[in-house]
Structure 1
């Protein structure tokens, strides 16, 4: 099996590449990545000899057509994904998330290649803190940022290409990931690297915003379950029952570092900060038999802390610039 992985030098994509090489040795892996600030080829250094790598954009129709023609399946991770950046400049999000997905869909349509589209629970908007419900595949879309709206649009493109052209595609919408190789601009690695540097963690506002955390390896195991056993045209939600608010995440990390659980500082909240995400992954569990391995969130955080401690050379070069950018916005 020949698999093209877009965005394979990014956070979730790089972990998917590592997991595929490790657990599916019969699969030939090609990575397509534009190597923007969020893509780092060093994330693939230990598997470089086991894969093929192409640098370029998913919106480059000629390049995409050539790579798709040589593939049996495409797993589409490539996306602009940082909410704050989408508020500063939405244009890259439109180009990558919408035009890039369209370009891939046309290529897989032409060559009859299986397509799996990685999306986010943020397409559904957010839930109130006291709302007992969770997102399901039937939840109406209600995105609240340029990031989530372009991901919602890309999902709808996939659905339309399935219905109109018979493209062999599936979609997964996942909750918030954490784990190795995540850029230090993101919430959990930012706090971990601050603590490694002896800096107090930063908490947005009151820290009551709830996310449904899942370890990246559990996410990628679910993607393989969908590739192997998923029904074409279906949407599967991926979550690990990991609802935790930002305040508790920060306090847990402080405890892991042996610090007082209140040793953090409040910073300006993010504009339009969604309150709560929650995933109902029963369809994935019941139909495909997937279950998460990292069911203890603290243990998952401890493993992630260990990774950042032992891979300082990976994140150190960009840390100062990220903190300077946050400082300009009071965050």
Structure 2
């Protein structure tokens, strides 16, 4: 059997890290290369269980470094590229948009050039539903693959820009690509500044939980392992050039999410502290994943089963997230929320 070679960018992050583990376990006959710069959200301890595997290796490098990427592609002879690497935190994009343009736009363009130069079977670009902008609160409206792109934050604008570059390289150069756009992920190894792990960690530490505005913003939640299986399917069976939305049909307000976690941990909702809303805060995201469902994918996790599993994971892995929320991260948190 031919050994397929897969490059996963951003494989030390949350979603990319879970995908790396998924691929190493499911496809022992594939060689998985994990490429990551190890910025603040990059963490390799999550991969301690696969570091000795014959089909796994790690490369530290910046996707915007053209020379290094060209060398890596020349040596790697990859069949597939699955591109997660990105600056992804909306709040940080409001504070410093420049790094988002550098990594998410210029970095993607460098990878596309390398993929074009050395030939690949497929370039899978992992994007976000945030590129579509926001929906109103009508429960019958959803993002589809035909929804116009209307990003509202520097983060989502940078991801929309990279989406358009990927499309252009397919249309202009014939590069075989897919674009996936997912709803909000949650699950193991989620960086503690995002809503669900932030809530869990602060509740466990007896601290107030910041909620933007009135907490009424709605998100569609997708377990990261369901996301991994969807990307696997798109990588192998997605039609070249197509966009696939990946959503869990698990819509909740931010306040509902926070209350669910607090109640699961048997703590008081008095821990909730409403803070000033962030600029350009989108009201609602919701995805119609029927195109991907027709390809053969369905999520396994309901929000109830997924959040229970996630809370349990954070209870059993306190040493991982306690290390992360110390030091510089705490300084960022204090500055961001002021509590």
Structure 1 and Structure 2 fold alike (TM over 0.5): yes
Q: What is the DSSP-based 3-state SS (H/G/I as helix, E as strand, rest coil) of the residue aligned with 2:48?
A: helix
**Aligned residue for 1:96?**
103
TM-score, normalized by length of structure 2? 0.94
**TM-score, length of structure 1 as denominator length:** 0.96
Query: 1:299 matched to which residue of 2?
Result: 305
Q: Is 1:122 the counterpart of 2:130 in the alignment?
A: yes
- Superposed CA deviations along residues 77-105 of structure 1, whole A, max 9, x for unmatched, are 00000111111111111111011110111
Q: Does 1:315 align with 2:321?
A: yes
Q: Which residue of 2 aligns with 1:79?
A: 86
State whether structure 2 residue 35 is matched by structure 1 residue 32. yes
1:1-331 equivalences in 2 (<5 Å): 1-50=4-53, 51-69=56-74, 70=76, 71-113=78-120, 114-130=122-138, 132-261=140-269, 263-286=271-294, 288-295=295-302, 297-320=303-326, 321-331=328-338
Which secondary structure state, in structure 1, belongs to the residue aligned with residue 50 of structure 2?
helix
For 2:149 and 2:195, the matched residues in 1 are separated by 24
**Contact 1:4–1:74 under 8 Å retained in 2:** yes
Could you tell me how far apart the structure 2 residues matched to 1:154 and 1:282 are?
24
Aligned residues of 2:203 and 2:271 also touching (Cα < 8 A)? no
Number of equivalent positions: 329
Query: For structure 1, which segment, 232-241 or 16-25, has the greater mean C-alpha deviation from structure 2 after superposition?
Result: 16-25
Cα distance, 1:144 vs structure 2: 0.6
**Please, which moves more after superposition, 196-205 or 177-186?**
196-205
Instruction: Could you list the structure 1 runs, at least 4 aligned residues long, displaced by more than 3 angstroms after superposition.
Output: 260-263, 320-324
Q: RMSD between aligned alpha carbons?
A: 1.3
- Supply the distance in 2 between the matched residues of 1:140 and 1:131 (Cα, whole angstroms): 19
